[in-house]
Amino acid sequence: VLEGDSLNIVHSLSGNSHTTSTSAALIYGMLITSFEFRNVLFSHVHRNDNILAHQLVKQALGNFDFSIWIEESPCFLVQTLLHDVSTAFN
């Protein structure tokens, strides 16, 4: 299951709508790559439910060096996860 918070992209990947010319190459590349898997399901998640993924992307965009984490998760991920858990129970 591949989740994304862009409803237009998820619908295009699922074949439920046509893609715009600006995202056509991205959609095409993702579909070609998805054929390497036996089964793929594209699913939409709301942006508020996708905060951890956004934090990972922001970290990756600002990190030009090779990074590896062994045994302990990075502080920014732990803080985001703890925030998600605390808001889920409020």
Cβ atoms of 84 and 52 within 8 Å: the answer is yes
2-55: pLDDT as tens digits: 888 888 888 889 888 777 778 888 889 999 999 999 999 999 988 777 777 777
What DSSP element (H or E) covers 54? helix 51-62
Backbone angles phi, psi at 70, to 5 degrees: -120, 125
How many whole angstroms separate alpha carbon 40 and alpha carbon 9? 15
Cβ atoms of 83 and 49 within 8 Å: the answer is no
Q: How confident is the model at residue 59 (pLDDT cuts 50, 70, 90)?
A: confident
How many whole angstroms separate alpha carbon 44 and alpha carbon 2? 9
Residue 90 has pLDDT above 70, yes or no: no
